[in-house]
Structure 1
Amino acid sequence: MTDRRTELAANLSKVEERIAAACDAAGRKREEVTLIVVTKTYPASDVRILSELGVRHVAENRDQDAAPKAAACADLPLTWHFVGQLQTNKVRSVVSYADLVQSVDRPKLVTALSTAAVRAERELGCLIQVALDAEENGRGERGGVGPGGIEELADLVAGAPGLRLDGLMTVAPLTGPYAGRQQAAFERLMEFATLMRATHPAANMVSAGMSADLEQAVAAGATHVRVGTAVLGVRPGLG
């Protein structure tokens, strides 16, 4: 456990240095960027260590892993983000522990989240997941709504009981015009975020960038970066 704590502390420190350097290069204050540590596939014991090391935001992408982990860490001062593609039959469980769902990408999901949030007497933060590899009104291969669907979904979330529209999220696309052009992709997301704030001024969260491209996300103006591997190491089974 001590070795794992040392390892996580060292990794966290390196990531912190990267974010600080990226903020400096972009002329931004360090506090403008929030680190979300993606803890998927890692045990609750790691989440506990991260909390002791000062991490306050963690993310999961599969309900069957996240629900027991969140329950085991319920005593910790953490904000839980759900970042995976979400099926409506998992919504009730996710709403029981997640503070924010970053992967809202269709009206049916908005309705299900609203119903579950009201039932649980919770306010759930929502980010619209934008698919920059999709046609204007299509869907991305890794989830997300095409640019043409952002406004409608944003209005739906903003008007739904139990939900709070917090902003936009994207995953750097592997295909399409932005493949291999992460910073251009994130800058495009920022343009959509600016447009959305014209009608929803409080929705100022922009979640973009992961271990490999957090610098480009910070340069583009992201408010939140989602980092897993660089903090926790190569995932079991992937190394």
Structure 2
Amino acid sequence: MTQPLSKDNITKLLKRVRIRSQKSQKAESDIILLAVSKTRPADDVRAAYDCGLTQFGENYLQEAVDKITDLADLPITWHFIGPIQSNKTRPIAEHFQWVQSIERPKIARRLNEQRPDSLPPLQVCLQVNISSEQSKSGVSLNELDELAALVDELPRLQLRGLMAIPAATDSESEQRATFAALRKAFEQLKLKHPQIDTLSMGMSGDMESAIAEGSTMVRIGTAIFGPRQG
């Protein structure tokens, strides 16, 4: 069971983004708010859209495709942010505008091959395993340049930047150190790929640290939709 969306949650979240942006001498508009709507019903996504949110992230493919179909009347930008199995690339290539979780050459090639010619290039981020956790998806920093070079050559993909899910910690100094490492990798990558502009890092519990260290997109679920129930 899930609780209905509270508009007050979005108001409070936007205030958090505004305060942290001001402290970091950034414009609030510089931070894209990606609403992570996995496990939430289409009605909640519609309600969030009515509150001004236009970009939504999904982890589970079939659930996401059902919602995309149900909400086809809304001009939503859909991001796939979950792990990608090779046998699931076609529907991802066909239904989403963004993919933030590319970590292997095989997945990049399949998405490129299966992206319909009638659609614009798929906007993609490379997922980096910034905390070097064995249980986490993502390319290592040592392999990042090679994967970025491959993606940049694929005509149906548009390399936009990096995404990471750091190891969970309540320590602000640890959060910022990890986000700073990802920002450094992003800045180095930008020297070879000057078109990249997206640093997707920060979630409900650490978004202030992420914005302070240069995030351009925060992926927020709980702070928008509330905790899952049951």
Tell me the amino acid that sits aligned with residue 157 of structure 2.
Answer: L
State the alpha-carbon separation in 1 of the partners of residues 136 and 173 from structure 2.
16
Please tell me whether residue 218 in structure 1 is matched to residue 224 in structure 2. Answer: no
Is the aligned partner of 1:165 residue 2:159?
Answer: yes
Q: Which runs of 5+ in 2 are unaligned?
A: none
State the superposition RMSD in angstroms. 1.9
Structure number with the bigger relative contact order (C-alpha 8 A, sep ≥ 6) is: 2
Asked if 1 retains the 8 angstrom alpha-carbon contact of 2:94 and 2:116, the reply is no
Question: Which residue number in structure 2 is paired with residue 62 of structure 1?
Answer: 60
How many angstroms apart in 1 are the aligned matches of 2:104 and 2:118?
A: 21
For residues 229 and 80 of structure 2, the distance between their equivalents in structure 1, rounded to whole angstroms, comes to 20
1:26-41 residue pairs with structure 2 within 5 A?
A: 26-41=24-39
- What residue is the counterpart of 1:75 in the other structure? 73
CA contact (8 A) 2:9 2:223 kept: yes
The answer to whether the aligner puts 1:227 opposite 2:216 as a matched pair is no
Which of 43, 46, 57 is 2:44 aligned to?
46
Gaps of 5+ in 1: none
1:174 CA displacement: 4.2
**Post-superposition shift, 1:179?**
11
C-alpha separation in 1, matches of 2:161 and 2:134 = 18
Partner of 2:130: 132
- Paired position in structure 2 for 1:194: 187
1:111 counterpart residue number:
109
- Please tell me the residue identity of whatever aligns with 2:113: T
Query: TM-score scaled to structure 1, two decimals?
Result: 0.90
Q: How many matched pairs? A: 227
1:185 pairs with 146, 166, 178, which one?
A: 178
Q: Give the CA deviation at 1:121.
A: 4.1
Task: Render the CA deviation track for 1:5-60: whole Å, top value 9, x for unaligned.
Answer: xx521000010000001101111111110100000000001111111111011000
TM-score between both structures, scaled by the size of structure 2: 0.93
Q: What SS does structure 2 have at the residue aligned with 1:35? A: strand
Aligned residues with identical type, % of pairs: 35
CA contact (8 A) 1:133 1:140 kept: no
2:138 aligns with one of 144, 157, 160: 144
